[in-house]
Structures are given as C-alpha cells and as structure tokens.
Chain A
Amino acid sequence: MPKALLEINDLKVYYPVKKLFGFGEKRYVKAVDGVSLSINEGEAFGLVGESGCGKSTLGHTIVGLLDAMEGEIVFDGQPITGKGKKRNLELSKKNQIIFQDPYSSLDPRFTVGRCIAEPLVVHGEGNRESRKQRVLQLMRDVGLNEEQYTKFPHEFSGGQRQRIGVARALALDPKLIVCDEPVSALDVSIQAQILNLMQELQKKYNLTYVFISHNLSVVNYLCDRVAVMYLGNIVELAPKTALFAAPMHPYTQALLNAIPVPDPDRKSMEGTLTGDVPSPLDPPSGCCFHTRCSLCTEICRQEKPPRRELAPDHFVACHHAQNVAEAQGAPA
C-alpha cells in the first residue's frame, strides 16, 4: 500500500457573494463542495473538469492560497489548513504551485535569477551565494541557459517562461507540486516539451503532482489517477486506464466523447451534452449533473448520489452508474 502524502476530508471552499445594498440572505458560490480524496507519494494525480467546476480553487486551497470553509487537508501527517488554523509555513515549503499563465505569474521587474530565488528569500534559505548556486542548478535542470540568469521575463518565449515557473516551484525542494493548467497557454509543439520536462523532473526528484487541466489528452499522458469534477463535486475517481477505457459516470463519458480525435477515420463528438453548466451560486438539487444528464430519473433530482466503489479503486457518484457501465460492456 503506497503511503498517502495528502489527505483531503470533506473540503468545502465557498466564496461569499456581495449583497446588493446589504439586503437579503448571505449567499455563497460553492466552488468546492465536499471533496474528499487522498493522493499517494510519487503519483501524478489529475484533476479535470470544465471551467467553473472548482478544480483551480481546490488546487489553490491545497497550497494554502485560499482558506477552506469546512473540512481539512492533511499533508504528510500534519494538518496544513482547517477551520481557524494558521498556515504552517514549514510545511508549505514542501507544497508548491506552477501557475497557468507564464505571462502574468512572473514579476516583470525581477530578473530570472531573482524570480527563481524568490521562494528561497521568502523562507530565508541560505545566503546570497548559496542561493545563486541553487538557482543556476535549477536553471540547468529545467533546460535554461546559465547566461540567462540576468535577463528579464519579457525576453523569453512562452515555453521558456513556463520553464522559469517550473524552476521556481522546484526551488524549495518540494514533495508536492500543484500544476494549475501549466500547458494550456502554450502552443502544441512547446506543450510537448514542457510535459516531457515535467515527467523527467518527477522521476528525478520523486515528485508528487496534482495536475489540474481541462485537457483530458494531456492528463491521460501524464497522470496515474484521475478525478473528474463537476460543479464543486468529484463525480468520478479512478486509475487512468480504467477511467479512459470504461468511464462509469455519464458526465465523464460525455467529456470523453466531446474531444475531437486527430484522426479523420475515427468520428468523435457524438452523443454530446446539451445545455450549459448551471451556476454554482444556485446548484441543482440532488445530483449536480441531473440537468444535463440523459439518464436522469426522479431520484437524481432529489437525492445527492453517494460515492460508491464499483470496481477496485474506481469511485463513482451516480445513481445509475451500474447501467452506464453495463451499457458499455465493462465489468461493473
């Protein structure tokens, strides 16, 4: 049994909505609404979903950029966040993040060397000389030139900037890195370079990744286990091969069907969903997906489906998951 590095128990992250002229009930956007999962050491865990499903909010809460409303996150045996608990700086060193947009996540007035050294400075690691040596080593690790140490972010292309972001996340020698859509702003040929780099680094430093993406193909390539989110809930959680070969939740199936396959002989994009994602301010009753689901029945509108383990390590939150799996001819 691999060791769990990160445990999340019934996590809820809500954003309060400003009341109009101070009247009315206090309302919240339920971005993450009762998520539980555990992530093992050394694994790449994928978190997928469409915009507004709460995947980034969950990622930001894991690194402590957002506070949880309820629930707890236990990292390496110690709680890092929880109700009324202050962040543990020592532990957050082991817990870093790579952001989506390499154009806005680097300070334009800092040199590359300074950008990468920033986490070391904040945590008071080493002296000026040792920090410089560390930064140069990191730059070599991510495939940047040592001569680029004194350059500024605007002198780099998108792919190289994302390399700087990766180096900065690695600076404190973390165990866990939350990667928030690290390649979605990059061109296809550059995306492949960054994905390969991340895979290499994972092997080299035995890193654990929480990889957030809307692109299922990228998650399929990099991750071991995948959780699919919809409106703040995890609807399906399974090992990669099981999830992509035999998805059990109707939403996962629809997501997979919606991907255009780069092969003119394989027709995809059939049986697509109708309608839009409901507002998280006013989520539907019962199963959050029932408004767009073709299998929806009375029970879906009334009762929130519990998460069930239908195959080994394959968790689904759907009242009709067995039927979905059977229709696919997969063992349920």
Chain B
Amino acid sequence: MENTLLDIKNLKTYFFTEEGVIPAVDDLSFTLDAGETLAIVGESGCGKSVTSLSILRIYPSPPGKIVGGEILYNGEDLLQKSEGEMRKIRGNDISMIFQEPLTALNPVFTVGRQIMEGLQMHQHLDKKQAHEKAVELLAQVGIPTPERVVDEYPHQLSGGMRQRVMIAMALSCEPKILIADEPTTALDVTIQAQILELLVSIKEETGTSIILITHDLGIVAQIAQNVMVMYAGQAVEYADVRSIFKDPLHPYTVGLLRSVPVIGVEQDSLYSIKGSIPSAKDYPAGCRFSPRCQDAFAPCAGEMPPLCTMPDGRRVRCWKYAEGGCKDA
C-alpha cells in the first residue's frame, strides 16, 4: 500500500525477569494507513499497552527488550534509529495520550509550560510564539478560558480537563500518528463521550491516524475502522470493525462480544468465558486460548495456530479456520 504509515512486522517484546522470560508481545504484525483509526482491544495483560510503548521505544528497559521484528515508519525501521533520532520522532511524528492524566502530567509545571516544551524543542518556536500556540491548542480541545488555564497547574483541573490538556499536548506538533492508550478509562461516561467526540473531530480536521488502545468494545464499535483483538501477547483476530462485530470468527472474540451486557437487549443470563486469563509466565502450549475455548479440538492444545489470512482479507489465529490449508503457514 502506498499510504501505509506504519508497518509492524513480527514484533517481539519480551521481558527478562528473575522468574523467567515473559513474552508480552509475541510475533505481532499490523499496518496503519494514513487517516486510519485502528483499535487494539484486549483484556489486562494481553500486551496491548506494551505494543504501543514498543512503537515509541519507551517500554521499561531493562527488563524489557525488543528481541525481533521491524517497526517501519514511512519505510524506515524505528528499531535501527539512535536514541537521538527517536527523540525527534516522539511527540513530533508520533505522539501518545496516556490513560491516567494525573500521573502523566508533571505536577510542578504549569500546563502551558508542559505544552510549550514540545513546541520549543521540535518546532523551534520562541517562548512567546509557543505560549500563543499553547493557548490556541487549549482552545482547540474545547477548554473554556484557555488564557487562564494555560497558567494553571494540573491539580487545579478536573479529570476531563486534564485529559484535554494531554490531547492538546499530543497534538501540539501535528503528529502523523496519535497513540491513545485507554484515553477515557479513568473518566466518567458523560466526560468520556466528550473526549471521544473531540478525538473524532480532531481526526476529521487534521487527518491524523489514530491507534486506540482500549478494553471497551463499545468505544471500538463507535470509533474504529479496523480492529485487532489481542489475547496473551498475540493477535487472534484482525479485521474491519463491521466484520468483528457482525460476524466474529475467533472463539475469543465471539465470547468477548457475548459477555458484554447491552442495554435494550433482554438477557436472562450472560455468556461467560470460563476460566481466567493465563499468567504470562506459563502460557499454555499450542493455542493460548485453548484451555478456555469451548470449540477446542484435537490440534488446539498441541500446536500454535498460525495467523491465517481468510479469502476476504481478514486474519484469524484459530485451527478452526486454518485446517483447510493456510497460505501464510
């Protein structure tokens, strides 16, 4: 594809701890086109956050280490870049919105100063210009009285306002890719709706690509174009949003969708996936979902299924669909 911005191939991020090697992200491949919104969904510990940290190379290291794969941004491998070159990319070409704005913002600097930092460093604006731009950005993300807020400290703002500041900061250098790691998990629903609306309108205005990391399937359905479902460090299904919600293939995706209660649908009892998420220290051999899968059959426990491309271009990691032969295998 011509307009592919980000192409991740066989990424492996492992954590080397005293208790052993933890394959947090294991052989993950995906692409992001210009203007695309990709959602990465999964439960806690599935590796969705480590994936986003790996792209910017800001995972904790040690113990974390990328042991294989490529992260191609505009055709250049980010893993081959020096630390200095990475600094020019972070916050400038690719920026990130974190989950908990109170811990991601520095409590001893004013909001304005934190937004100005990126502008002065990457765009080489002087102090006055950067200050003006910061006020402009705060107005753009819907903060009333931006001239006042720019000189306030994070603790003086509410949760929703702090998240808006985070977004203003991430947008300051007009990034090509915006990674939003659970941007609304810490917020109330009415505030969440405001923030999501803001993200959508920003995308329409600037054409930024968004990688949205979340566990909330509702948000995915409302915002994303493509979805990657992760389980235990791997992609188990990767398709467009309509296919995922209307005709999910992987038993885990099916189970996840059925275990969410929906308003307006009368349910006597909720479907639940049996068992619990395996610990990353000892993933089951074979398919990592097989011990919890209701459709598991002979090959599942023995051998890891490949991520197969279906005739319609969707990808799924399950023996149910790989049996007839899989062209990637």
**Chain A interface: which of B82-90, B99-107, B165-173, B261-269?**
B261-269
Could you tell me the distance in whole angstroms from the C-beta of A183 to the nearest C-beta in chain B?
A: 10
**Chain B interface: which of A13-21, A132-140, A254-262?**
A254-262
Could you tell me the distance in whole angstroms from the C-beta of A293 to the nearest C-beta in chain B?
A: 12
Contact among A159, A195, A244, A273 with B263 in the assembled complex (CB-CB below 8 Å): A244
Task: Find the B residue at minimum CB distance from A263.
Answer: B221
Evaluate contact between B272 and A264: CB separation under 8 angstroms.
no
Given the complex of chains A and B, what is the CA–CA distance between A190 and B267 in angstroms?
17
**Chain A interface: which of B25-33, B146-154, B183-191, B202-210?**
B183-191
Evaluate contact between A268 and B222: CB separation under 8 angstroms.
yes
Could you tell me the distance in whole angstroms from the C-beta of A186 to the nearest C-beta in chain B?
A: 9
Given the complex of chains A and B, what is the CA–CA distance between A152 and B260 in angstroms?
30
A299 touches B (CB below 8 Å):
no
Given the complex of chains A and B, what is the CA–CA distance between A309 and B164 in angstroms?
40
Contact among A187, A245, A262 with B245 in the assembled complex (CB-CB below 8 Å): A262
**Chain B interface: which of A57-65, A104-112, A212-220, A318-326?**
A212-220
Could you tell me the distance in whole angstroms from the C-beta of B144 to the nearest C-beta in chain A?
A: 8
Contacts of B221 in A (CB 8 A): 260-264
Contacts of B256 in A (CB 8 A): 188-189
Residue interface bits B258-301, CB-to-A below 8 A is 1, else 0? 01111110010111111011000000000000000000000000
Contacts of B192 in A (CB 8 A): 258, 260
Contacts of A260 in B (CB 8 A): 192-193, 196, 216, 218-219, 221-223
Evaluate contact between B271 and A192: CB separation under 8 angstroms.
yes
Contacts known (A50-B189, A188-B43); A195 close to B261, Cβ less than 8 A: yes
Contact among A193, A259, A273 with B272 in the assembled complex (CB-CB below 8 Å): A193
Contacts known (A220-B261, A244-B264, A260-B218); A214 close to B277, Cβ less than 8 A: no
Residue interface bits B235-265, CB-to-A below 8 A is 1, else 0? 0000001100110000000011101111110
Evaluate contact between A189 and B273: CB separation under 8 angstroms.
yes
Evaluate contact between B259 and A262: CB separation under 8 angstroms.
no
Contacts known (A188-B217, A263-B221); A273 close to B190, Cβ less than 8 A: yes
A237-286 interface with B by 8 A CB criterion? 244-245, 254-265, 267-269, 272-274, 276-277
B58-78 interface with A by 8 A CB criterion? none
Contact among B190, B197, B215, B219 with A188 in the assembled complex (CB-CB below 8 Å): B215
Contacts of B216 in A (CB 8 A): 260
Contacts known (A189-B43, A272-B197); A262 close to B218, Cβ less than 8 A: yes
Evaluate contact between B277 and A188: CB separation under 8 angstroms.
no
Evaluate contact between B196 and A217: CB separation under 8 angstroms.
no
Evaluate contact between B273 and A221: CB separation under 8 angstroms.
no
Evaluate contact between B44 and A269: CB separation under 8 angstroms.
no
Evaluate contact between A262 and B194: CB separation under 8 angstroms.
no
Contacts of B277 in A (CB 8 A): 157, 187, 189-190
B115 touches A (CB below 8 Å):
no
Contacts of A258 in B (CB 8 A): 189-190, 192-193
B91 touches A (CB below 8 Å):
no
Contacts of A157 in B (CB 8 A): 276-277
Could you tell me the distance in whole angstroms from the C-beta of A230 to the nearest C-beta in chain B?
A: 10
A196 touches B (CB below 8 Å):
yes
Given the complex of chains A and B, what is the CA–CA distance between A260 and B197 in angstroms?
11
Contacts of B242 in A (CB 8 A): 264-265
Evaluate contact between A262 and B160: CB separation under 8 angstroms.
no
B220 touches A (CB below 8 Å):
yes
Contacts of B264 in A (CB 8 A): 244-245
Evaluate contact between A189 and B272: CB separation under 8 angstroms.
yes
Given the complex of chains A and B, what is the CA–CA distance between A276 and B157 in angstroms?
10
Could you tell me the distance in whole angstroms from the C-beta of B62 to the nearest C-beta in chain A?
A: 24
Contacts of A277 in B (CB 8 A): 188
Could you tell me the distance in whole angstroms from the C-beta of B263 to the nearest C-beta in chain A?
A: 5
Contacts of B276 in A (CB 8 A): 157, 159-160, 190
A191 touches B (CB below 8 Å):
yes
Given the complex of chains A and B, what is the CA–CA distance between A274 and B270 in angstroms?
34
Task: Find the B residue at minimum CB distance from A269.
Answer: B193
Task: Find the A residue at minimum CB distance from B257.
Answer: A262
Task: Find the A residue at minimum CB distance from B161.
Answer: A276
Given the complex of chains A and B, what is the CA–CA distance between A50 and B187 in angstroms?
9
Contacts of B246 in A (CB 8 A): 264
Contacts known (A189-B256, A254-B190, A258-B190); A267 close to B222, Cβ less than 8 A: yes
Could you tell me the distance in whole angstroms from the C-beta of B145 to the nearest C-beta in chain A?
A: 13
Q: Could you name 11 residue pairs across A and B whose Cβ atoms are closer than 8 Å?
A: A160-B276, A187-B43, A193-B273, A196-B272, A217-B262, A221-B267, A221-B270, A244-B264, A260-B196, A268-B218, A273-B190
Other than the given A192-B272, A260-B219, 7 more pairs (CB < 8 A) read: A187-B215, A217-B260, A220-B261, A221-B270, A260-B216, A265-B242, A272-B194
Closest 7 CB pairs of A and B: A260-B218, A192-B259, A221-B261, A192-B272, A50-B188, A258-B193, A187-B43
